[in-house]
Structure 1
Amino acid sequence: MPKVAVVTGAARGIGAATARRLATDGFTVVVADLDEAAGKDTVDAIVAAGGQAVAVACNVADEASVDAAFERVAAELGSVDVLVNNAGVLRDNLLFKMSVEDWDTVVSVHLRGAFLCSRAAQRYMVKQKSGKIVNTSSVSALGARGQANYSAAKMGIQGFTRTLAIELGPYGINVNAVAPGFIVTEMTDATAARVGVSPEDFRKAAADITPLRRVGEPADIANVVSFLVSENASFVTGQTIYVDGGRKL
């Protein structure tokens, strides 16, 4: 039977690209998102290309929702072999304007979400003595104006990744993180709108200060995730790989 990969926040952007890539690699992909219907386009694209995928509703910040989602995956598909913690939100603001709700929402989705999903997935991975977990950090972990909540959560992901690698390594489970730079997504387009520039100008400004002189596409991240969950990366664990075109700040 094909191995099963769960990708959270897979309805669009980096998550959708990752889900499509892992399906191409031969995984049965679980497209997990807040609303099961939201994952339909990603599932349809995978199936149309000859892959296998199902959509599953999962609020990554809610313990009961996460546990129910993973129980369903294990019951219907037989295993949980790969987890990609990708779900995320933005609530950008300068510190003096940032509300407690803005802080809690971002930390809950990114950090609590990665914790809850990883804890659920490892229950199955430990039993089978194999598994791959890839967490999504960001170059913003190194600091970004107006993103105290997001930066803190994304740096937290890196410490979380290193710790899980230590704890889960003896069970044959690899845990790594990817840290994207500027990637063309709905999220970065929304940031452009927030600062009052067009998406095109926003992308060009980012490309101009990136050594490779371009911004990233979701597939650039998906390709690295594909490597990290493959047997080619069997001795790689506890690492955060920056995928940023050479620009970290």
Structure 2
Amino acid sequence: MKRCVVVIGASSGIGLAAARAFRDAGDTVHAAARREISEPGIAGHTLDITDHHAVAKFAAPFDCVDALIVTAGTNIKERRLHELTPDAWDRMLATNLSGPFYAIHSFLPRLKAARGTVVIVSSVSGAYTDRSGPAYQAAKAGAIKLSHGAGFESGGDVRFTVILPGVVDTEILENRPEPPTREQRDQMLHAEDVAAACVFAVDLPPRAFIPELTILPTALQAIGKTT
């Protein structure tokens, strides 16, 4: 039976890999992102996850949704505490924390109708201190607790899983003050690794769910180690 899967933050990286993985599993996939998405077998939508009105409008036509995958995230080069500005802080929280809440808020009735699953892709940075910056770490920590709290209140009507990847070789690494070398990237997770974890969480039988899953690159096993 085909499932209806919505992936937000799917123009590249983990989101696009997740959309492809669910498509390849035979699901009907709706992929949304700020940038245009043109991928065979996937319905693409343009969406700014930081705009709660736009997210609500996007969700409105759906009757029920079996899985909502939220992978949208960003970081900035000027990430050190002394470099952060209030505007930069607000932008970081808008994408990495408020956006996932807007998606859950808008899709919750559709997810309840399907007894569906939400997967939020947070980061190991939200649980362990590293060099990703206080704003990113605070937002990703909030996303972890958002998932836990939503799952606590769902009463089993909707399963909530939060995934905490270690460093992944995606475009966001270009926003580091010093982007990693090719040799460093080769040691990192691939987007497809995290996508496989998303599919695994959704594929579990209804009697079981994963509250939290940490996935790290084998060559960089130390928590918080990103180089």
Q: TM-score, normalised by structure 2?
A: 0.90
Please name the residue that 2:161 is paired with.
176
The 8 Å contact of residues 75 and 175 in structure 2, kept in 1 or not, is answered as no
- Aligned to 1:6, the other structure's residue is in SS state strand
The CA distance in 2 between the partners of 1:200 and 1:240, in whole Å, is 30
* Cα RMSD after superposing both structures: 1.8
Aligned counterpart in structure 2 of residue 221 of structure 1, from 162, 184, 194: 194
The 8 Å contact of residues 161 and 175 in structure 1, kept in 2 or not, is answered as yes
| 4+ residue segments displaced more than 6 Å | none
- Aligned to 2:44, the other structure's residue is in SS state strand
Q: Which has the higher helix share?
A: 1
In the alignment, structure 1 residue 17 sits paired with structure 2 residue 17: yes
Q: TM-score, normalised by structure 1?
A: 0.82
Please state how far the C-alpha of 1:198 moved relative to its aligned partner: 5.2
Counting only pairs closer than 5 Å after superposition, residues 34-53 of structure 1 correspond to structure 2 as: 34-35=34-35, 38-40=36-38, 43-44=39-40, 47=41, 53=42
Unaligned runs of 5+ in 2: none
Unaligned runs of 5+ in 1: 48-52, 205-213
The CA distance in 1 between the partners of 2:117 and 2:10, in whole Å, is 17
Please name the residue that 2:182 is paired with.
200
Please state how far the C-alpha of 1:231 moved relative to its aligned partner: 3.0
Please state how far the C-alpha of 1:102 moved relative to its aligned partner: 1.2
- Aligned to 1:98, the other structure's residue is in SS state coil
- Aligned to 1:178, the other structure's residue is in SS state strand
Please name the residue that 1:59 is paired with.
48
In the alignment, structure 1 residue 157 sits paired with structure 2 residue 155: no
- Aligned to 1:229, the other structure's residue is in SS state helix
The 8 Å contact of residues 87 and 109 in structure 1, kept in 2 or not, is answered as yes
May I ask how many residue pairs the two structures share in their alignment?
Answer: 219
Counting only pairs closer than 5 Å after superposition, residues 79-158 of structure 1 correspond to structure 2 as: 79-92=64-77, 93-126=79-112, 128=113, 130-141=115-126, 142-158=128-144
